[in-house]
Amino acid sequence: MTWQQWLTQAAARLRDSLSPSAKRDAEILLAQVTGATRTRLLAFGETPLTDAQCATLETLLARRERGEPVAYLIGEREFWSLRLRVSPDTLIPRPDTECLVQRSLALLPPARAEVLDLGTGSGAIALALASERPAWRITGVDRSPGAVALARDNAARLGLTNVQFHESDWFKALQAQRYSLIVSNPPYIEADDPHLAQGDVRFEPRSALVAGEDGLKDLAAICREAGPHLLPGGWLLLEHGWRQGPAVRALLAEAGFDHTATLRDYGDNERVSQGQRLPEGK
């Protein structure tokens, strides 16, 4: 079987399994197994597959037909132009989270700053910030040992030395260190949300997705506990669900934050809310 023949058959099978990106999924799997670029796959479609490659591709294709995310199948996902390793220990980084990175970069100057990423997962947010701001010192924490190990591996592979990762359940393992900016993409999905039974999220860690019956449990905890860990004038920046903007702004205001606002994502949905800890007496 040639590369082109396999692509045609694989795309047809994935379309039958209702994959939303059948052709692209097939190309990614074939590139992973052959080591060829997408351009080479298309230009040299007559290249024959070996028996070993066919067997590996069949295994991967069957898993994708069952709905397993492509990122888990190949062990990588691109975020902020960085190639990150991912695993079932972590969420798969999504493009809308780049909006949180963009806002973080806009809030603080490039000069030295201490930044904390809560629930870092694969390290996507922390590593994106580290790659853009060499003078910043960034700490990422996660309660999952597997996630912390993966984030450390990603940092080492990318050669980023201005970021470190530790195990912590939100702020619990942190000392008296205070930060100019705290960012987080915490769990924010409601326990009975029907989307939990659809698409990639079926395979992602539920503990990184669901936060209480209303989806606000972890967002509320972070808002309550962040103040003592922020320098005067420091910012808290939170990703949340597209309908949670008003609730998160209320949580920030209740916790004493000022200059609260919500920014929209690439789909024009409310996605990232911010609040500032004002200096004493202001």
Is 81 annotated in a binding site? The answer is: no
Please indicate if the annotation marks 123 as binding a ligand.
yes
Measured CA to CA, the distance from residue 210 to residue 91 in angstroms comes to 12
Cβ(117)–Cβ(126) under 8 Å?
yes
Cβ atoms of 170 and 225 within 8 Å: the answer is yes
The reply, when asked if residue 162 is annotated as ligand binding, is: no
Q: Is 120 annotated as belonging to a binding site?
A: yes
CA 130 to chain CA centroid, Å, is: 15
Q: How many CB atoms lie within 10 A of CB 55?
A: 11
Q: Please, what is the Cα angle at 55 between 197 and 58, to 5 degrees?
A: 30
Torsion angle of alpha carbons 137, 138, 139, 141, nearest 10°?
180
185 is in an annotated binding site: yes
188 annotated among ligand-binding-site residues: yes
Q: Which of 282, 173, 176, 175 is nearest to 232 (CA)?
A: 282
The answer to the question of whether 233 is labelled as a binding residue is no
3 is in an annotated binding site: no
122 annotated among ligand-binding-site residues: yes
- What distance in Å separates the CA atoms of residue 33 and residue 135, rounded to the nearest whole number? 39
Q: How far does the chain reach from its first CA to its final CA, in angstroms?
A: 71
Which one-letter amino acid corresponds to residue 177?
Q
| Strand ranges in 194-266 using DSSP code E only, listed in sequence order | 230-239, 258-264
187 is in an annotated binding site: yes
Answer yes or no: is 279 a known binding residue: no
Annotated binding residues for substrate? 185-188
Annotated binding residues? 119-123, 142, 170, 185-188
Annotated binding residues for S-adenosyl-L-methionine? 119-123, 142, 170, 185
